[in-house]
Structure 1
Amino acid sequence: MFFTNFRTVMLSTVLLAGSVSLPALAHDSDYNTKDLNEQLVMSTLWMQASAEYKAMSYQAFNLAKMQFDHYLDKHKGNKKVAVVVDADETVIDNSDYQAWLIGKDFGYSSKTWSKWMAAADAKAMPGATDFLNYVASKGAEVFYVTNRKIVGLEGTRKNLKALGFPNVDDKHLMLRTDTSNKEPRRDAVAKNYDIALFMGDNLNDFSNDFRTKSLAESDAAVEKNKALFGTRFIVLPNPAYGDWEGKVYNGNWGATAAEKDRMRKSKLHVWHPAK
């Protein structure tokens, strides 16, 4: 009991100090990425098997349609109207890739992700195809501002076209080239278009207000922009991965599997029943 409590206190102290150099524990050498990948099971299963996930996706696109129509009713500018969407876990579902990692002793890598992009096997998010084609039917345009690297352009183009999405061309496919910051690409769209909506699964899909370094700063940015969620910003559910995970690690994506496991669990709010 004493050792367990002491270890918990030491871990909390290290994390509060902002360090990600965690003290080694006895089990660290036995805990590997395959073990850590087991934590993907529930989030991936929920995305693939639950009707609730499907319902939340439909809910997001139904809301997007309502807000898009409202925007068109009030639009008086001379510019054409656009909708800006992220790709992964916003209009296409990559959960098969996440499921593939389960049971493997390695995590995400650009090498395996490039193969996934080239395979062009991602499915459409429920409601995405209908909504994006509705946008196009109203004379507006869809821009895909994604942090897929340019090496994945052809696979991404093939995938989106196969799913029946509109505006799948070099003008509207805005992949990552020199920076993961999407603001310059959003600004490029805004020069010639009035943007009705932004859709994404990651807060960085919406504004540079969310390019924060900590979970607390992200929370504060959400509070600052709370009136925009559901009106101008439409968020899709993604419990599997995201920018938030790096903030759990204080930016140290290179931490060991055991360290990541402990840092994840240190952020949980745990109920302790009365004795």
Structure 2
Amino acid sequence: MSVLRSSAALLAGAAFVLSGCIAAAVPVAAAGGLYKARQDSANKRERGAKRKAEAPKPGKSIVTPDGQRVTVTTLNQLPAPDGSLPARAASATVPPEMQYLYGSGEAAALSFQAYQGLWNYLRVEIGYLRDKSQAKSVALSPGSTLDNPKFETCGKRPMAVVLDIDETVLQNLGYEADTAQRGGGYDAARWSRWEQTGVEQMLAVPGAAEALAAARREGFTIVFNSNRSAATAPQTIAALDRAGLGPATLGDTLWLRGEGEPSGKDARRARIAERYCIVALAGDQLGDFSDLFNAPELGVQARRSSVGASLVAPLWGAGWFMLPNPVYGTGLKGGMDEVFPPAVRWTDPQEKK
């Protein structure tokens, strides 16, 4: 009681001192209530900490009051009837490569830059040709090598722009958000379910819809060549339409990976080239331009050098247009010595002392 009286006296005194400038008097009964609330809160925290310290750890076997032996787990809800575990709670962080590709203005600027370059190439380099039949395809002809690329003239074939789909014209935001939350690597079964059900969780890559619409207005056919499954063609077509990138027709302006087909795209490109003269290619992986870049014998540095040291180098930005993708793909490989050869290593002089 003496503590309560002291607190009440102090608060009452403070109220009189403040009464000349603001009406801040605290009733004596309220002072006692505040003190009791603080004590109750402190006692509750102390009891909670004690219970937490005494709680059995996950994996420990304990005996319940009714004599049953059980093992403690980290589950906070029961599994589904099929035995699957509930989805993990959303992660508090996003992987930096996803922050860059799906969240940054820098990646959006690179995408706009690529599509602006594509449109300018079509409008100027191809559009101003007096004899369109003499235009050159930018798809490597059969028998080409990176050191000796061969290209055919268009002749009477209609001109086409051939593009990859994923992270080239469509961003798979829903799938990658799920991956960021769950962690782990690529899951083929999960990706298949995404193709079937994720139509509304995709957006067009910045700049893609505008560039493709402009190209169509100038008479270029837009063709998509993707490793998505041919079995999910209706959903892929719907996703392209919803994002303002369509239309697309399977087997004509949409080419997908058939059951059992390899992931390389050269065979499909060759079939497209039989119908169209491919005057521009766009993608986010080197395989979107030629399977030769993914030859097994090419090491990390040799593959990197192949895009600039061969006769195909002049095609970048002049028929071949690369979109950024640091999230997945054939470019994400290489150990320390492959990415950073010993000859280019640096050691801080301060650490040599």
TM-score range (shorter-chain normalised) is 0.7 to 0.9
Structure 1 residue 108 corresponds to structure 2 residue 186: yes
Write out per-residue CA displacement over residues 219-261 of structure 1, whole angstroms, 9 at most, x where no aligned residue: 232121211101011000001111123x43xxxxxxxxxxxxx
Q: CA deviation at 1:102?
A: 2.2
Alpha-carbon contact 1:133-1:166 (below 8 Å) kept: no
Q: CA deviation at 1:142?
A: 0.9
Which letter does structure 2 place at the counterpart of 1:199? A
Deviating beyond 3 angstroms after TM superposition, the runs of 4 or more aligned structure 1 residues are 37-40, 265-271
Greater shift in the superposed pair: 233-242 or 179-188: 179-188
Which letter does structure 2 place at the counterpart of 1:131? A
Q: CA deviation at 1:98?
A: 2.2
**Please, what TM-score do these two structures have when normalized by structure 1?**
0.75
Alignment gaps of 5+ in structure 1: 1-33, 249-262
Distance 1:38 1:106 in 2: 16
Distance 2:112 2:227 in 1: 24
Greater length-normalized contact order (CA 8 Å, ≥ 6 residues apart): 1
Structure 1 residue 239 corresponds to structure 2 residue 320: no
Q: Pick from 122, 126, 132: which aligns with 1:68?
A: 122
Percent of aligned pairs with the same amino acid: 28
Q: CA deviation at 1:189?
A: 1.4
Q: Pick from 195, 198, 216: which aligns with 2:281?
A: 198
Which letter does structure 2 place at the counterpart of 1:198? L
Alpha-carbon contact 2:216-2:222 (below 8 Å) kept: yes
The aligned length equals: 224
Structure 2 partner of 1:79 = 157
Distance 1:217 1:139 in 2: 39
Structure 2 partner of 1:166 = 246
Q: Pick from 300, 306, 309: which aligns with 1:215?
A: 300
Distance 2:327 2:92 in 1: 12
Which letter does structure 2 place at the counterpart of 1:274? P
Relative to 1, partners in 2 of residues 1:218 and 1:116: Cα closer, same or farther, differing over 3 Å? same
Structure 2 partner of 1:29 = none
The 5 Å alignment of 1:36-55 reads: 41-55=95-109
Distance 1:241 1:165 in 2: 23
Alpha-carbon contact 2:204-2:244 (below 8 Å) kept: no
Greater shift in the superposed pair: 57-66 or 157-166: 157-166
Write out per-residue CA displacement over residues 87-141 of structure 1, whole angstroms, 9 at most, x where no aligned residue: 0110011244223212425321111112222221211001111111111112221
Alignment gaps of 5+ in structure 2: 1-87, 134-154
Structure 1 residue 135 corresponds to structure 2 residue 215: yes
Relative to 1, partners in 2 of residues 1:104 and 1:267: Cα closer, same or farther, differing over 3 Å? farther
Q: CA deviation at 1:198?
A: 0.3
More helix by share: 1
